[in-house]
Amino acid sequence: MRSRKPPAGYRRGVGVMLIDRRRHVFIGRRIGTADGWQMPQGGIDGTETPRVAALRELKEEIGTDKAELLAESGHWLSYDFPTELRPSIWGGRYKGQTQKWFLMRFAGTDDDIDLDMHVAEFDAWKWVPPRDLPALAIDFKQSLYRTLIEEFATALKLR
């Protein structure tokens, strides 16, 4: 799960655990899924730094980058795609994703969130307590979400 640098065979990306003032986490439901809830995430383009990519992904996926950085994962965190899905994800080029994660505080209002700002990836969104994240995530991301909750527990004031 953890590594200091991205492992071979994994798509490099970023993810954002965006929290509101109640310390609830933003999640969006993937278009075409009944229960595919996830936090904003995406790839790193060209020479982008992970932090720049994270803000770009926020803007593309939820229509705003009004966020203040609170913490960054100490390691790249990886997860594998289910074997049966690998051929259909990016043409089977990757066995999974490895990501730098950022904890950010939302600095806007709910009115700033616009799922149609770019190419829509989510069809619904909500704020949830961090403890609810793993149960709402697709099965192959549940372990990653538990790791993120632990990694950011101090900043989330869960300890």
pLDDT tens, the chain, 159 aa long: 554 556 778 999 999 999 999 999 999 999 988 888 999 999 999 999 999 999 999 999 999 999 999 999 999 999 988 888 787 777 778 899 999 999 999 999 999 999 998 889 999 999 999 999 999 999 999 999 999 999 999 988 865
Residue 27 region by backbone torsions, left for phi larger than 0, else alpha for psi between -120 and 50, else beta: beta
Quote the pLDDT of residue 2.
54
Quote the pLDDT of residue 86.
81
Q: Between β-strands 25-30 and 37-38, what pairing exists: parallel, antiparallel or unpaired?
A: antiparallel
The highest-level CATH class for domain 2-156 is alpha beta
Q: Is the pTM of this model over 0.85?
A: yes
Quote the pLDDT of residue 26.
98
Q: Which residues contact 13 (CB under 8 A, 6 or more apart)?
A: 41, 42, 43, 44, 53, 97, 98, 99, 100
What backbone torsions phi and psi does residue 79 show, to the nearest 5 degrees?
-145, 155
Quote the pLDDT of residue 4.
53
What are the sequence ranges of the domains in the chain?
2-156
Quote the pLDDT of residue 19.
97
Contact 25, 126 (CB under 8 A): no
Quote the pLDDT of residue 5.
59
